[in-house]
Amino acid sequence: PGGPPPPPSDPAGGCASGTTLQGSAPGCEGCPSKEQCKSTAPDARTVGKNRADLESSTSQIKHKVLVLSGKGGVGKSTVSASLAFHLSSLGYSVGVLDVDICGPSLPLMLGCVGRQVHHSNSGWSPVYVRPNLAVMSTAFLLPGEDDAVVWRGPRKNGLIRQFLTDTDWGDLDFLIVDTPPGTSDEHISTVQHLRAG
């Protein structure tokens, strides 16, 4: 009695983002994005299509590695970049997904700042640092290197889903996902989408 409440029974804390209960599930109570989520909740047909798209696009990825920490400045992006370079130097096919939507740093660390993502019939073509090392980041979609992205949860969730479903990763041995500090929307959305695939 009088102590902190127990942690939620699931890691997402009851977040129903991307489901038909988005914005109206019990876990949505008290969430500042509740009304925005509720107004953009998908219907059952859309949820089924999204799940099929995720399964199709991530089925060619053998291993998915999520790099995260509850604190900032501890070297998550350094670990992600180093791991990507090392695995690709061993001959593995590697994709790196930068889901730090508001502060993408991987293009700088991987030496591909200023490059652009191209659209094709099969989706977005990621930026290739090496023939077997592909990168996707919000930084490639912004008009300027110093432009800022200030988005709330549902928009971030939509972009992460789009990165996973619309990027033509091809056959990958590893997909390394670099995350922002903390345990926020980006982490929950990424894990939910990767589980769905």
pLDDT at 177 over 90: yes
Instruction: Give the neighbor-by-neighbor strand order of the sheet with 133-137.
Output: 61-67, 172-178, 94-98, 133-137, 127-130
CA distances from 41 to 52, 64, 139, 191 (A): 18, 27, 27, 19
pLDDT in tens, 16-64: 666 666 677 777 777 766 776 666 665 554 444 455 555 556 678 999 9
- Reading the block at residue 108, the tokens are 């700088």
Res. 189 pLDDT band, cuts 50 70 90: confident
DSSP string, 34-98: HHHHHHTPPPHHHHHHHHHHHHHHHTTEEEEEEE--SSSSSSHHHHHHHHHHHHHHTT--EEEEE
**Residue 166 burial (CB count, 10 A):** 16
Res. 80 pLDDT band, cuts 50 70 90: very high
pLDDT at 5 over 50: no
Res. 153 pLDDT band, cuts 50 70 90: confident
Q: 15-19, 31-35, 76-80, 119-123 — which is least confidently predicted? A: 15-19
Q: 45-54, 99-108, 130-139 — which is least confidently predicted? A: 45-54
Dist. CA 87–CA 176, nearest whole Å: 10
Dist. CA 155–CA 87, nearest whole Å: 32
If you ran DSSP here, which 8-state letter would residue 7 be given?
A: P
> Is this model's pTM higher than 0.75 or not?
no
Dist. CA 57–CA 41, nearest whole Å: 22
Per-residue confidence (pLDDT) for residue 89, from 0 to 100: 98
Judge whether 156 and 185 are in contact, CB under 8 Å: yes
16-20, 27-31, 158-162, 191-195 — which one is most confidently predicted on average? 158-162
Dist. CA 76–CA 79, nearest whole Å: 5
3-17, 18-32, 54-68, 118-132 — which one is most confidently predicted on average? 118-132
Of the two residues 11 and 38, the one the predictor is more confident about is: 38
pLDDT at 113 over 80: yes
Per-residue confidence (pLDDT) for residue 197, from 0 to 100: 58
Per-residue confidence (pLDDT) for residue 13, from 0 to 100: 47
